[in-house]
Each structure stands twice: as structure tokens, then as C-alpha cells.
Amino acid sequence: MVFALNLPKLSLSGVGAVAESVAVLAGQSVKKVMIVTDKNLIELGLLDSLYQALDDKGFDYVTFDHVTPNPTVSLVNEGAEFYKKNACDCLIAVGGGSPIDCAKAIRIVTSNDGNITVYNGVGLVKNKGAFFIAINTTAGTAAEMTSNSVITDEVNHVKMVIVDTKQIPDVAVNDPSLMVGLPASVTAATGMDALTHAIESIVTPGAHRLTLPTALEAVKLITKWLPVAVKEGANIEARSALADAQFLAGMSFNSAGLGAVHALSHQPSATHNLAHGVCNAILLPVVSEFNAQTVPSAFRPVAEAMGGDTSQLNDHEAATLAVDLIRKLSSEVGIPTGLACLGIEHADIDGWVQKAMDDVCMGGNPRTLTYEEVFELYKLAL
């Protein structure tokens, strides 16, 4: 069986990577750039270096700054109209998962027929679209280098997961200097999101010897540096390590796949507009404990990567240690203890179960879940 490892054409990492990405763009036949971001990032000055680099190279550009957390179908449509109205032929996304996913979806609908809802699923995109640079400002989603985008269908109250290699940006940019101003809560949420990516890609049946080393290195880096970055936001060494860690986790899950943590977490974030990383962090130990009953040996390297000593433990004990270490890290960085802390009630669960079971990520889980088991996991996560 052929294993496919899908990556951007070019990935730039380190201080100064933004300017370098514009130098790369200068080699393309581009007339007008559309920047996709949110107002808050502009106000924080995180686009200043990009604007300066574009001005220095003489590029014509416009900014679409309407992106909100958990981008919706209507927002994608608005962005597509903006792109066409301004006769753009290139996209640069600046932000975390929301701006980058929104830009991915805009790229699809401006180069293919139909609404973005037509592309919900795997491998449905025909045309790749405009040259695309994704500049990451968080250390969590790995959206700058993956083939996935998540868009909320506000009519049906569900998060669509669009998976297609044609969504992978041409250039992925991780400049840690853009991440030093992230609030501690955002740092924690995005870091735990990256940890979830790494761990799910380790225990999934789709794991491969080309993905396991990067995922395990991501786990090591996140365990060591996430608490530091939460406490010392301006620590550039910690920011650089986490930027690399989330990229490594992205390298792994983009080809190995994800699992039930993501399938379950997509639902509360869609209906209650909650932070994806926080939902993942709450569900990760709950789902891991469930999966460990079937594939305990898969969690041994997770425990070891998180600093646990498994030399005297059997597989089930090592898996228990891994879950304990996940909970310990989550608590250390200030993640809420349960979904109830986010305003979720027992009555909310009924509407999520079938949607979670139908989520594309569920197919990568190492253990098949019944309707009743999904319901019970949600209850445990409350």
C-alpha cells in the first residue's frame, strides 16, 4: 500500500520568515494580493512586517479583515465576493486556524463551481486555485501546512471538515516573532490543540514510520515548552519551539489522520462558538482513556515523550500514565476541567452525537464507537 506524505512546496521558519515569503512571492506572476485576517491582529500590529515587505516589493494589495473565530459559510461567501470585486489573483492568510481556513475556503470557491458546502468531505476539490501563502500567528492548528479546513455551516449547525491536498498552501510561514504577544489562554489552547494533533496521529491506524517520529518530537517539545510560553509570553525560544512543534504535529496528522477527539470537539465549538483547542484539550484525556482499552501499546511512546518512566510498566499501566500526564499538562497551563465550565449542559449533548459519528475525523479513530459510547464520552467530558 502506498503511503502519501503531503506537505507545502516551501516552508519558512524563523524570525524574518514573513519578509522572506514576500521575496518568494516576487517570483510569481501576481498582480493583486488579497490578505485574509482579522481586525484584532491588525490592531496588534502583527501585519506591519507583511505590509512593509509588500510595499518594498511594490505589490498591490487589499485586506479582508472580517474573519471571526470558527469561520462560517456566509463569511467565506463574503470573502469570495471581496476577492472577485477587487480582481485579486493571490491570497495571503495571516492568523491562526480561522483566517487560514477561511482563506483556504475562499480559494476553493473562487476557482471552482458551487458553494463551499459542496466540498464538505474528502478529495472533492477539482482546481487548486490562486498562489497562496499562509502566515501562522499561533502555535497550534498547523493550518498553514495542512490539507484540511474547517468551516461552520451556520444553517445546519455543524462544522464541515474539507480535506483535499489542493488546499495545502504553496508557502507555509512560521515566524515566532509574531507569536510573542499571544495571551496565555490562547497560547495554552493552541498548544493543547497541537498536542491533540500529535497524539491522535500516533494512535490512529493511519500512523506510519514517516509520521511517528515527527509526532513524538512534537509531544516532547510541547510538554517542555508550553508551560514556559504560557508563563513567559515573550520567551522567543519557547515560541520558536512551539511553532516547530505544531508544524511537526501537522506533518504527522496531515497524512496519518486524526480521530474521535476532533470528531467530538467539532460539535460544541460549532453550536456554542467555543475555542477549538480548549474543546480538544478537555476531550483528549477522556477519549484517550477510552482508546487505550483497545490500543494501550500505542500510548506507551506518548507517555515516554511526555517524560514518563514506563520501564517497569505493562502497556495498560503505561497508557494510564500517558493519560495522567496529559491531564497534568492541561491543568498546568490553565485549561478548564470540563465542558460544563464553558457553559455546556447535559441537554446539549443529544444534538451532537450523530454529527460526531458522521464527522470525517471519526474514521481515523483506533476504536469504533457506538452512539451510546459517544454520548457517554460527552457526559464524561462535562
Question: Tens digit of pLDDT for each residue in 26-81?
Answer: 999 999 999 999 999 999 999 999 999 999 999 999 999 999 999 999 999 999 99
Helices marked H in the chain — which ranges? Answer: 17-25, 39-43, 48-56, 73-85, 97-109, 184-203, 212-231, 236-256, 260-272, 276-291, 296-305, 315-332, 353-358, 371-381
Question: Tens digit of pLDDT for each residue in 106-140?
Answer: 999 999 999 999 999 999 999 999 999 999 999 99
Whole-structure pTM value: 0.94
pLDDT of residue 1: 79
C-alpha 104/C-alpha 163 separation (Å) is 11
Strand partners, 10: 171
Closest residue by Cα to residue 16 from 50, 55, 42, 57: 50
Q: Are 120 and 161 in contact (CB under 8 A)?
A: yes
Q: Which domains does the chain have, with CATH numbers?
A: 10-178 (3.40.50.1970), 184-381 (1.20.1090.10)
Q: What are phi and psi of 233, to 5 degrees?
A: -60, -25
C-alpha 283/C-alpha 280 separation (Å) is 5
Residue 276: all three cell numbers together: 477549538
Beta strands in 65-170 (DSSP E): 90-95, 121-122, 131-136, 148-153, 158-163
Residue 119: all three cell numbers together: 466540498
**Is the pLDDT assigned to residue 157 strictly greater than 90?**
no
**Is the pLDDT assigned to residue 348 strictly greater than 90?**
yes
| Whole-Å CA distances, 347 to 88, 261, 375, 376 | 46, 20, 11, 13
Q: What are phi and psi of 23, to 5 degrees?
A: -65, -40
